[in-house]
Chains A and B, each alone.
Chain A
Amino acid sequence: MKLFGKLRRNRKAVTTVESVIIVVLIIAIILSAGTLYYVSTVTRQLAELSTGISKLSDSVSKLSGDLATVSTTVEDIREILGRPPTTPPTPTPPPTPKYKETLIIGTTDSVEKTIDPAQAYDWFGWHILQQIALTLVEVEPGSEAGPEDYFPALATDWSVSADLKTWTFNLRKGVKFEDGREVTAEDVKYSIDRAIALIPEIPEGAPAGLGYDLVIDSVEVSDTYQVKFHLKIPFAAFLGFMGCRSSAIVNRDYAPIKEIEYTEGDVRASTPVGFLGPYKLTMWVRIAGRDTEMRLEANPNYWNAAVYPKTKNIVYKFYADPTALRLAIEAGDIDIAFRHLRSADVIDLTKNPNLKVWWGVGAAIQYMIFQEKIEPFGDARVRRALAAALDRPTLTSTVFLGLTEPLYSIIPKGMLGHTEAFKELGDANYELTRNLLAELGYNEDNKLQVELWYESSGHYPMSAEQAVVYKDSFEKSGVITVTIKSADWASYKLNRDNEIMPVYVYGWYPDYVDPDNYAFLYWAAWLHHNYENPDIVVLYDQARAITDPTERARLYAEIDKIAVRDSPVVPLWQGVAYAVTKPDVEGLVLDITQDMRYWLVYAEIPA
């Protein structure tokens, strides 16, 4: 009341300051009103969440069922490789529908270092290379990336010698670099030679990691449009190698034998690939080591430019974390959200009528490792006991809401060689756990002490939540106590190498789609878990040197059996791929390659 009296007396003094306060109060009221409104509408929707989750797990299990029934009968590969593969039917130009000119992609990824095929080894670097560069062969979108699913890209046909050591590729004619020069076998030789030559200088690159120098002996230009690869070992999965982004063709006029790094403001100088792919890179802005903007534009020099890309321009926008990405797609700021979204967010978005959720095959896996140098984990019985105590279905439903699948072999479902071997040890098989541990003197009064480590800086999704569930599963056996420890990625890797973590969890995604790229994880030296078994390695080397899929599957099954017996590494789960888009977006393919081919994607403009 005093206030009002003052107001009346000093009219002039009232205006500015008082009005600001009124504005502040109004904002506060809007805030509270808005919160209440939002909370009320959303709580209603949430009541349906549990039914949504169960519906989702149903569709996911249906999906895996479909994958499992995929035909395992495959023709003799040598025969296929010997004769030229069926060329894809020349597409009759479809009636030009109206497609949106630009699509905006939101992601939390970032190019790790460069988009130089001799260096790039991260998912996003490879992703960009796939849009702008060309390799000899490509995997047919939507296929299982089996040996017969490789399609001509720069190469039109190919053949292999009987000993699997000499591979010959015939090249497409008339493919031009950006500067107008035609691509010939010389360029292919230069690209691969360069990748191998740079291995000492770029030890962290893909050619080094994949072992180009261990596989390829020499590259021969047998004709202007024909190139021959002479290998050091018989290697059945060589097509996979040639489909890798590290085998992309570079323009030697812009690619000296030196790593090509990001150059601010000059896209041309930031990559050596001469833009042979469906797109060319027109803008790349990197601030403080993270991408902030990338733009792709249709490449007129692409050999299949008549058909692809369907969308002329692609713009990438980079978000700091999955929550920010979810908010962006929900707000309609972007057309496509891909990598990464949390499970709860994806399930929510399936209920959103303004968005479309796409599902696909996952090839990312996680597995648990036991450090055999630390007792008692050197004893296989302890490892098997812990493996038996794991409860994968609870884990996948609790932490990932059904968006991952329990995995019972180090080779994921959908790939040749996958088995359900670890089912032998079971899930939450506490009786087996107790029996095995009793043999070593562990019981309710003398519990096995386990130190479980997880990575804490977000390198793996939901790693902390997973650790909590694993601890719970182990302790439910009644004879195990678990202490959870964490380290950020840098320390985690160091701890791994210093072999101080008794039990730890690791992840893997494929370089190329072949069981060869997975099976070795059981004994991989760089995991530092000190498991050695010469028999298992013999089986592995045999499997990579033959092409008969039935025989290979048998060998990988043998490997799995040994793995179950020794349990050096225990597979945990396999991811499911997903993307969220606006309803008018079409053409997304989420197959086992884990690639996202934006040249297939389009949004129709309503007539």
Chain B
Amino acid sequence: MGLRSYIVARVLLTIPMIMLLLSIVFLVVRVLPGDPVLLHFEKRATPEAMDAMRQKLGLDKPLPLQYFEYLAGLLRGDLGKSMQDFSSVGQQIFSAFPATLELTIYSMAVAVTLGILLGVRASRSYNSPLDHSIRAFGIIMYAIPIFFLGMIFQIIFGIGLRWFPTGLRMHPAMEPPYGLNLGSLHISTGLYTVDSLLEGNIFKFLQALRYLFLPSLTLGLVLCGVFIRLTRSNMLETLGLDFVTAARARGLKERAVVYGYAFRNAFLPVLTMMGLQFAVLLGGAILTETTFSWPGLGRYIVDRINFRDYTAIQGAVVFFGLLVALVSLVVDILYAYLDPRIRL
């Protein structure tokens, strides 16, 4: 099976997967106890008012009709209107996503960097106390609840030492970065670090980094254990292989052997793991986002579940599913491209 057909097969497989996910979620949220109509009435609600609200939310229509209308909208690219404030769900997700994306990217960077560096170091001194302490470090970090760790950092670095802020994405007195304005063309990614560079404002860039530091450190530390373990085991395997022994025999320096030959081969699984961990990161972002008042998708979903905002929950689920599917697709294709043994 050639690479092209592999890609096509994978893409085609994604579609029913998303459909299934969507249908499951559609049913699940409507089974959720609690009537979204009631949530709009803070105080009193007459039966007439409630009926009017039900109509306004489109919940008076029969279930299959709601389902098909939603699907139709989806095909048009319309994720529907939020049941809480009737603004476009697509727009809400689109506005919340960059925050989570930025957090995810930096946390992944922290996790992978720490993981690889520590994993390589551990593999090079196999069975030494350093090896064991590094492995222990990774395992212990994963066992710490995220909000606990985040809290500790907030107290020490935010209040005690005042090096880093305790929440939000940007300094309260500064306006968020607005990206690049080329005449009528407006480029803005929503990632504060990128936008501030586009704007050319180094001060904002540094502030954005400062605000990113604690949340990404928290999430990254918790997840680095996975990468430490993976890198270490892969390095150990690779370092024992023939071509490495051959390289050593040829008299290459240790460092060249490690990074030149062994590492490159061990990196592939790390790539796959990054794809897999992406979903975990998105989930872990919920607790981090709450701890650090980070206005992202994780918080959005929890808010919406509490509000029984069916359309928003469906939209977010579809979005997450597509995102994770996309990432794993890219990773799988990359992997297949780099390692011909994998294609089925």
Give me the interface of A with B, judged by CB distance under 8 Å: 2-3, 6, 10, 12-13, 16-18, 20-21, 24, 30-31, 34-35, 37-38, 102, 104, 106, 112-114, 121-122, 200-201, 203-204, 208-209, 261-262, 264, 285-290, 292-293, 315, 317-321, 324, 327-328, 330-331, 333-334, 457, 487-494, 497, 508, 511, 524-526
Contacts and interface: CB of A to CB of B under 8 A. Distances in A.
B173 A315 contact: yes
Nearest to A13: B255
Interface in B160-176: 160-162, 165-168, 171-173, 176
B269 interface: no
B160 A320 contact: no
Contacts of B312: 289
Nearest to B165: A333
Contact of A330 (B52, B56, B159): B159
A11 to B, nearest CB: 10
Given A287-B295, A493-B34, A37 B44 contact: no
Contacts of B160: 34, 37-38
Contacts of A6: 125
A320 B295 CA distance: 8
B173 A288 contact: no
B337 interface: no
Contacts of B294: 320
B255 A493 contact: no
A10 B306 CA distance: 58
Contact of B44 (A112, A290, A487, A526): A526
Contacts of B38: 490, 493-494, 497
B91 A264 contact: yes
A493 B39 contact: yes
Contacts of B157: 34
Interface in B125-175: 125, 128, 130, 134, 137, 152, 154-162, 165-168, 171-173
Contact of B86 (A13, A200, A261, A327): A261
Nearest to B117: A20
B82 interface: yes
A271 B95 CA distance: 21
28 contacts: A3-B130, A10-B254, A10-B255, A16-B117, A18-B121, A21-B134, A24-B118, A34-B160, A35-B152, A38-B160, A112-B85, A113-B86, A122-B42, A200-B52, A203-B48, A203-B49, A203-B50, A209-B43, A288-B300, A289-B303, A319-B168, A327-B154, A327-B159, A331-B165, A333-B168, A492-B34, A511-B43, A524-B44
A6 B125 CA distance: 10
Interface of B: 32-36, 38-45, 48-50, 52-53, 56, 82, 84-87, 91-93, 95-96, 99, 114, 117-118, 120-121, 125, 128, 130, 134, 137, 152, 154-162, 165-168, 171-173, 176, 253-255, 258, 289-297, 299-300, 303-304, 306-309, 312
Contacts of B307: 490
Contacts of B42: 121-122, 204, 209
A31 B156 contact: yes
B299 A288 contact: yes
A494 B35 contact: yes
Instruction: Give the interface SS of chain B, mostly helix, strand, loop or mixed.
Output: helix
B158 A331 contact: yes
B156 A35 contact: yes
B37 to A, nearest CB: 9
A121 B41 CA distance: 9
Given A287-B295, A328-B167, A24 B156 contact: no
B95 A488 contact: no
A310 B72 CA distance: 53
A234 B114 CA distance: 74
Given A104-B173, A204-B41, A490-B36, A289 B300 contact: yes
Given A35-B152, A327-B154, A17 B49 contact: no
A390 B170 CA distance: 47
B34 to A, nearest CB: 3
Contacts of B167: 319-320, 324, 327-328, 333
A489 B152 contact: no
| Interchain residue pairs A-B with the least CB separation, the first 6 | A490-B34, A288-B96, A203-B49, A204-B40, A288-B300, A34-B156
Contacts of A34: 156-157, 160-161
Contacts of A122: 42
A286 B157 CA distance: 29
Contacts of B92: 287-289
A290 B303 contact: yes
A16 B255 CA distance: 11
A488 B34 contact: yes
Contacts of B254: 10, 13
A1 to B, nearest CB: 11
Given A287-B95, A320-B293, A490 B165 contact: no
A121 to B, nearest CB: 6
Given A10-B254, A203-B52, A21 B152 contact: no
Given A203-B49, A489-B306, A31 B152 contact: yes
B91 A21 contact: no
A466 B96 CA distance: 35
Contacts of B93: 288
Contact of A490 (B168, B173, B306): B306
